[in-house]
Amino acid sequence: MSSQNYDFTKMPQSMEEFWMPFTPQRLFKKDPRIVVSADGMYYKDVDGNTILDAIAGLWCVNAGHNAPKVKEAIKVQLDTLDSTLNFQYGCPTPFIAAEKLCKVMPDSYNHVFFSNSGSEAVETALKMAAAYHHARGEGGRRVFIGRDRGYHGVNYGGISVCGLSYNRSMFGQLLPSIDHLPHTHNLEHNAFVKGQPEWGAHLADGLEELIQFHAPQNVAAVIVEPVAGSTGILPPPKDYLRRLREITRKHGVLLIFDEVVTAFARMGEYSSTTLFGVEADILCMAKGLSNGVVPMGATLCTDQIYDGFMGGPEKGIEFLHGYTYSGHPLASAALIGTLDTYEDGKIMGNARQMMKVLEQEIHKLKDAPHVVDIRNVGLMAAVQLETEEGKDPLRMSRSVSYELFNRGIVMRYSGPNIQLSPSAIVTEDQIKEMCGTLREVINDVAAGKVSH
C-alpha cells in the first residue's frame, strides 16, 4: 500500500490492538475521543468539530500546533539524512541543536545529554548524578531524595523518586536508598493563593534532617519539579527552592530540577530557573523542547558536572549511558526549529502577558460549586474539586474533563484537579473561553445534568 492510500483522518477500523498509555482501555474504546488534525490552538476531531486545546498536547506544543519553523526544519533533515547512529559516529544536527539550546539557557548550563522522553531525561539525570560522584571517588553517594506527590515519569528510577503512591502501587519494591521530602500543598494555609504561596518555605528545611538521617556522604542528589505538575500544579512556596539549593550545596549533594513541564515558555522563560532565581546542577527537559513534534528529552548540566567526568583516560567512555536515538537527527531538527520559533521573543512575551490573564480569569471560579482550591503559576493552573465521600472520588473531575471535550475544549483531570496549561500563543479571548466553559461545565456536573 502506498502512503497515498492511507487516510489518517478516519476512525480506525480496530481499536483493540493499541494498548493506550495511562488510559482506561475499555472505557475509552466504548466512547473514544479521537482528534485527527491540529493547527495553532485547535484540534479537529474525527467528526470535523473544532476543539480548543487548553493543555498544549500534554504540556508539549508550547509554541502551538503546526509551528511552521519546526515542520520546515524536520522536512529539511528528513530529505537529507533520515537516521544515523550517534555512538562513536555522529551527524551535525544534534551538535547544532545542543549549541543553540545552551545559548538560550542560563549561562551555567553548557552540556546536554539527549534522550527520547521526559522519563529518560530523568533516568539520565539520576545516573549522571551517581556516576559523577563515582568519578570523583565518592561512589558511596547512592541515596536519592524526591518529594511526595512528585512525578518523574515511568521508568524504575523515576517511579522510585516519584511521590505518587498510586503510580508506584503496581510495581512492588523499587530502587533502594530512596527518601522523600514532604509536599508543599496545604489547603489550610494556601487555598486560593495566586501564584507562589507565602507559607511553606520551611518545608524545605526537612531536607537537612533527611540528609543527616542518611549521612551526607551517602546522599547523591535531590530531585524536584520546580512546580509539581502532574499531581495538580503546586507552585513552590516563596524561598522554598532557594533553601533546597542552600542545603544541597552545603552537603555536596546535587540538586536536579525536573523541568520536563516547566521549561520552554511554560513559565515565560526557556527555563524556570530564570523565573525562580535558583539554579540546579542538572536540569531535565522534554515535551516543549521539540514542541512535542518528535519525541525528545534532554538532560543539561553545569561545567562542574561535565568536567567531573573528563578526568579519566581519553580513550575510555566517560559516561556509560546512552540511547540508540540520543540526538536523533529528526528530533534535533525539531529542537532547532523550536528554538527558531522562539527566537524573536514574541511567543515568550505573549506567554508572560497571558500568565497574568490566566491568573485573573481562573481565580474567578472561586465561587463555583465544589471548588476547594485554585492554583496558578506561569501558564499553568488547576481547579481542585471536592471529592465525594463514599462515592467514586474522581467522578466530579472526570465528568468535568470528559464533558469539556463534548463542548469543544481539551482540559485534563488529574486526581480531583482540572488542569490548564495552554500553549504560549494563547490569546486573552481563548483563556476567557476556557475558564467560562469550565464554569458552565462544573455547574452542570454539580447540578447532576451530566456525569461520565
Ligand X SMILES: Cc1ncc(COP(=O)(O)O)c(C=O)c1O
Q: How far is the CB of 86 from ligand X (least distance, A)?
A: 20
Q: How far is the CB of 159 from ligand X (least distance, A)?
A: 10
Is the Cβ of residue 146 or residue 200 nearer to ligand X in the bound state? Answer: 146
| Contact flag: residue 118 with ligand X (CB under 6 A) | yes
| Contact flag: residue 117 with ligand X (CB under 6 A) | yes
Binding-site size, ligand X (CB under 6 A): 14
Q: How far is the CB of 326 from ligand X (least distance, A)?
A: 15
* Integer Cα distance of 289 and 263 in angstroms: 8
Is the Cβ of residue 267 or residue 445 nearer to ligand X in the bound state? Answer: 267
Q: How far is the CB of 429 from ligand X (least distance, A)?
A: 28
Q: Which residues contact 155 (CB under 8 A, 6 or more apart)?
A: 119, 120, 122, 123
* Integer Cα distance of 224 and 352 in angstroms: 24
Query: What is residue 252's three-state secondary structure?
Result: coil
The torsion angles phi and psi of 261, rounded to 5 degrees, stand at -95, -40
Which residues between 196 and 225 bind ligand X (CB under 6 A)? 225
| Contact flag: residue 415 with ligand X (CB under 6 A) | no
Q: How far is the CB of 261 from ligand X (least distance, A)?
A: 4
Contacting range for ligand X; rule: CB under 6 A; set: 82-90, 97-105, 139-147, 151-159: 151-159
Is the Cβ of residue 150 or residue 416 nearer to ligand X in the bound state? Answer: 150
| 143, 175 Cβ separation under 8 angstroms | no
String marking each residue 241-270 x if it binds ligand X according to CB under 6 A: -----------------x-xx---------
| Contact flag: residue 152 with ligand X (CB under 6 A) | yes
> 276: which 3 cell numbers?
525562580
| Contact flag: residue 119 with ligand X (CB under 6 A) | yes
* Integer Cα distance of 301 and 62 in angstroms: 23
Q: Which residues contact 433 (CB under 8 A, 6 or more apart)?
A: 52, 409
Is the Cβ of residue 286 or residue 445 nearer to ligand X in the bound state? Answer: 286
* Integer Cα distance of 28 and 45 in angstroms: 15
Q: How far is the CB of 227 from ligand X (least distance, A)?
A: 9
Torsion sign, CA atoms 427, 51, 227, 112: negative
Which residues between 273 and 292 bind ligand X (CB under 6 A)? 286
Q: Which of 41, 122, 143, 145 binds ligand X (CB under 6 A)?
A: 122
Is the Cβ of residue 348 or residue 380 nearer to ligand X in the bound state? Answer: 380
Which residue pairs, CB below 8 angstroms and at least 24 apart, start in 84-92? 84/329, 85/324, 86/322, 86/326, 86/327, 86/328, 87/322, 87/324, 90/327, 91/329
| Contact flag: residue 359 with ligand X (CB under 6 A) | no
| 179, 143 Cβ separation under 8 angstroms | yes
Q: How far is the CB of 278 from ligand X (least distance, A)?
A: 17
* Integer Cα distance of 59 and 421 in angstroms: 6
The torsion angles phi and psi of 117, rounded to 5 degrees, stand at -165, 170
- Which of 106, 9, 101 is closest to 288 using CA atoms? 101
Is the Cβ of residue 94 or residue 295 nearer to ligand X in the bound state? Answer: 295
Which residues between 222 and 241 bind ligand X (CB under 6 A)? 225, 229-230
Q: How far is the CB of 286 from ligand X (least distance, A)?
A: 5
| Contact flag: residue 123 with ligand X (CB under 6 A) | no
| Contact flag: residue 153 with ligand X (CB under 6 A) | yes
Identify residue 381 by its one-letter amino acid code. Answer: A
Interface ranges with ligand X (CB under 6 A)? 117-119, 122, 151-153, 225, 229-230, 258, 260-261, 286
